[in-house]
């Protein structure tokens, strides 16, 4: 008598997708401001307006993200690095205002 494990492949797939999502959130938390400023610069240039302000803001954000990423963070001080890169306050309460 054969026993089939129907849900095993789907469970493994969900775990892999979840790990990729967590990694993407981490990357976005460090480089999100840079990506937003570059997208703004592209759309401004396409509309025919000079976008040197957005380009400079993207460079500044990339420099700040690079400095934050160069520091060593662990579970004890991870919020400090995440808040520096996103411009947050550092409360980390998770509550809804």
User: Is there a domain that residue 24 lies in?
Assistant: yes
- 90 within domain boundaries: no
Helices 52-70/8-46 angle, 10° precision: 140
**Residue 16 to residue 11: CA distance in whole angstroms:** 9
The pLDDT value recorded for residue 15 is 94
Average pLDDT over residues 38-62: 86
Domain enclosing residue 72, as ranges: 11-84
Structurally, the chain folds into a number of domains equal to 1
- Residue with more model confidence, 76 or 59: 59
Residue 78 lies in a domain: yes
pLDDT for residue 89: 47
Inter-residue contact 37 to 61 (CB < 8 Å): yes
List the beta strands (DSSP E) in the chain: none
Q: Is residue 74 part of a domain?
A: yes
pLDDT attached to residue 84: 64
pLDDT tens by residue, 75-95: 777 677 666 655 554 444 444
């Amino acid at each position: 008598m054969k026993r089939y494990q129907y849900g095993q492949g789907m469970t493994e797939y969900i775990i892999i997708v979840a790990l990729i999502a967590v990694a993407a959130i981490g990357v976005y938390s460090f480089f999100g401001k840079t990506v937003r400023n570059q997208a703004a610069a592209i759309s401004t240039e396409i509309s025919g307006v000079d976008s040197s302000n957005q380009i400079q803001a993207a460079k500044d954000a990339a420099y700040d993200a690079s400095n934050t990423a160069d520091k060593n963070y662990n579970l004890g001080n991870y919020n400090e690095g995440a808040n520096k890169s996103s411009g947050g306050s550092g409360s980390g309460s998770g509550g809804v205002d």
